[in-house]
Structure 1
Amino acid sequence: MDLKHLTALVTVSDTGSVTKAARLLHVVQPAVSRYIRALEDEVGVPLFERTRQGMTLTPAGEILAERARRALLELERARAEIRPDPGHVQGIVTIGLLESTVELLAAPLLEAVGHRHPGIDLRLLSAYSGHLQQWLDDGAVDMALLYNLASAPSISLTPLLCESLWAVAPPDVDLTGTDAFTWAHVAKRPLVLPVAGHGLRTLIDQALHTAGVEPTITCETNSMVVQKKLVATANAWSVLPAAGVAEDVAAGRLCGGPLTDPEVSRTIILALPRTSRMPPAVGAVSGEIVRVTRRLVEDGGWPTARLVDSLG
C-alpha cells in the first residue's frame, strides 16, 4: 500500500470530505479520489459510504483507517528519532492522562518537557482509567496514568501518589455544624455520579456499602465536566478525586473536602508497555511525569495527596 493512499484514507476519514482532505494535503481533489479508489481496488471492498452529508467509513474502512493511522504515526516517530541532533532527545510521545488530573498536571508537565526536552513533540489525551488502559494495550498511547491497578503482565507500573476522594457540593452550601463530608451525610443528598462500571463508581459503591447507606442518585454521567456543572447549577452533590476539584473549590466555584467514615483513596500509577526497547523520548517523558507529580505533592499543589513507592 502506498503511503500517499493511506494518508488520504486517514485525512478523508478525519475531515469527512474529499475536498477538505485535498486542501489539507495540498493536492487536487481528483488525486485524493484516485488514492481512495486504488485502496478500495486493492482490498476489494468499499472503504467509504458516499452520502450528501459527506464521506463515512464503512466497517472495513474503520479497520483499515485505524491500522493506517498507527502505521503513519510510527513512521513519523521514526523520522523524528533518527534526525541528527546530538545532545537532544527527539520524537513524538503520546500520554494518556486521567481526566481528573488534567487541570493540575497538564500545564506543569508541558512546561517541564518543553524546558528540558524541546525536541519532543508531546501529545496529551484524556479519558477515564478503563479507556486509558485499553489505549495503552492497543498502542494508541505510549504511557498512561491509571489508578488502583496492582499488576498487569504486559504493563510496567510505577506508583506515583495516593489521593483522597472528595465530597463536592454547590458553592453556597452552609457546612456549619454538620457532618457534611461523611458518606452518611452525602448519601442523603441528590447525587450525580459516574456511570455504573466506571472505576471511580466502583470505589464509591464500595464506600457506600461499608458506610451502610443507600444513595439518592439523580443522574449518572461519564463526564467529570458534567458532574461539576450539575453540582454548581442544579443543587446536586457528587464525589470526585481531589485533583479534579481542587481548583474549583479554591476559586469558590464549588464546595468540597475529603470524605470520612470511611476514608477512601485511590493510588495513581504511571503505566508503560513492557518492551525490549523504549524510545529515548518516551523514557525522558516518563521521567518528567514522575518529577512533576512528586513536586506537586511535595509543594502542596496536589491536595490530600501523599507520595507512594510501592503498590502494596
Structure 2
Amino acid sequence: MDLKQLRAFVTVAETGNVTRASTLLNLVQPAVSRQLRLLEEDMGTEFFDRSRHGMQLTASGKTMLEYARRILDEVARAKAEIQPVEGPVSGIVSIGLLASTSDVLATLLAGEVAKRYPHIRLRLTIGYAGHLQDWLQAGDVDAALLYGQKETSALHVKPLLEESLWAVAAPSAMLSRKRPLTLARVARELFILPAAPQGLRAVIEHAATEAGVTLQVFAETNALSVQKELVAQGHGWTILPAVGVTQEVARRTLSAAPLISPALKRTIVLAAPASRQATAPVRCVVEVLLDCVKSTFESGRWPDARWLG
C-alpha cells in the first residue's frame, strides 16, 4: 500500500467514476485502475461494485474510505508542520462547530481564515456535542467547540463562555426576552427535542427532573434546522441557546424567552486532543476561532452569555 493507491482510491470513491478521477489525478485511466487493483489485492478484498453506472463502494470500501482519508490528512498535516519556517502557513484544518453556533461563526471563521491564512484549506464540520467529541477523539477534526466538557487525559479543554438556554416557540406564542418563563409553565406545551443521548437533551431532562416537571415530547430530531422548522410551523416548543435562534427571532419566524426557575445554562469550551500535537496550521486556525468567538460575544451577537475565556 502506498499514498498513490490511497489517493486514487479516495478520488474514485468521491467521483464514482474512473474517468473523472483520472482527470483530477492527471493520470491515464489504466494507471488509476491499476492503483485500485493493487490496493484491493494488498487488502484482500474488493472496495467497489463495478458496473456501467459507475463505481459504488462496497461495505469494505466504505470502511476503507474513512481510514484512507485520515491517512492522507495526517500526511498533509505532517508536511505542513515540517515546511520551512519562512514559507506561508498551509495545510488542511478541520474544525467542529456546534449546530447552534454555526449561524454566527461559520461564515465569520471562514472569511477570517481566508484573509489571514489564504494557503490553509478549512474544513467545517457541524454537529451536536456528542458527535463532535467522537470525531475529535477519532482524529476526524482537529479542534471543536463543545459544551460542558471537562479536562480529561484525552482532551485539552479551554472554557470560553457560559450561555443561557431559552424557550423557543412559533411567532404566535409571542415569547419575549422581556418576559422570562418558568420551566413549569413551559412544560405545559408539546416539545420538539434532540434525540437522546445528545448532551442538550440531557441538560433539559435533568433540569425538568430537578423542577419536578415532565416534558411532553411530540417529536425528536438530530437536525437543528428541522427542529426549528417544526417549531416555526407550530408543532411544538423547544429549548435552545439564545445564539441558536438569534436570526430567526430577528426575522420573526420564531419567538423566544429566557427560562427561570430554574435558569438553564451551558458552558461552551474549546477542545483539542491531548494525544496529538497541534500543527502550525491548526494553531493558527484555533487562534482565529477564539478571536471570532470573542468578537461575536463583544458585539452582542451572542446574547445572554457571560465571557469566561
Per the alignment, residue 93 of structure 2 pairs with 93
Letter of the 2:264 counterpart: V
Aligned residues: 308
Distance in 1 of aligned mates of 2:194 and 2:294 = 28
Question: How many Å apart are 1:122 and its aligned residue?
Answer: 1.7
Residue of structure 2 in register with 1:261 after alignment: 261
Deviation readout 1:87-112 (Å, 9 max, x if unpaired): 74333211011111100111222233
Matched to 1:22, the amino acid is S
Q: Secondary structure in 1 aligned to 2:46?
A: coil
Q: Say whether residues 1:10 and 2:15 are aligned partners.
A: no
State the match for 2:248 in structure 1: 248
Distance 1:175 1:291, change over 3 A: closer
User: CA RMSD of the aligned region, Å?
Assistant: 2.3
Q: Where does residue 38 of structure 1 map in the other structure? A: 38
1:271 aligns with 2:271: yes
Cα distance, 1:54 vs. partner? 4.1
Aligned partners of 1:192 and 1:230 also within 8 Å: yes
Give ranges in structure 2 of 5+ residues lacking alignment: none
Deviation of 1:151 (Å):
2.3
Which residue is equivalent to 1:104?
Answer: 104
Alpha-carbon displacement from aligned partner over 1:131-165 (angstroms, at most 9, x marks no partner):
11111111111101111012221111111011111
Q: CA contact under 8 A between 1:161 and 1:305: conserved in structure 2? A: yes
The question of whether the paired residues in 2 share the 8 Å contact of 1:179 and 1:185 is answered with no
- 1:163-219 CA distances to partner (integer Å, 9 max, x unpaired)? 11111110122359x977321222211211100211100011111112211222110
Q: Is residue 158–residue 271 contact of structure 2 (8 Å, CA) maintained in 1?
A: yes
Return the offset for 1:84. Answer: 4.8
Query: Which range moved further: 183-192 or 46-55?
Result: 46-55
Confirm or deny: 8 A CA contact 1:171 1:252 kept in the other structure: yes
Residues 107 and 50 (structure 1 numbering): CA distance in 2 closer, same or farther, change over 3 Å?
same
Q: How far apart, in 2, do the equivalents of 1:87 and 1:39 lie?
A: 34
What is the TM-score of this pair, normalised by structure 2? 0.91
Gaps of 5+ in 1: none
Identity of aligned residues (%): 47
Q: Report the TM-score when normalising by structure 1.
A: 0.90
After TM superposition, the structure 1 = structure 2 runs for residues 29-178 of structure 1, keeping only pairs within 5 Å, are: 29-50=29-50, 54-84=54-84, 86=86, 88-175=88-175
Residue 238 of structure 1 corresponds to: 238
- Relative to structure 1, is the Cα distance of residues 51 and 243 closer, same or farther in structure 2, using a 3 angstrom cutoff? farther
Deviates more, 1:21-30 or 1:69-78: 21-30
For 2:277 and 2:271, the matched residues in 1 are separated by 15
Q: 1:209 to 1:179 in 2, by over 3 A?
A: farther
In the alignment, is the contact (CA less than 8 A) between 1:89 and 1:281 conserved in 2?
yes
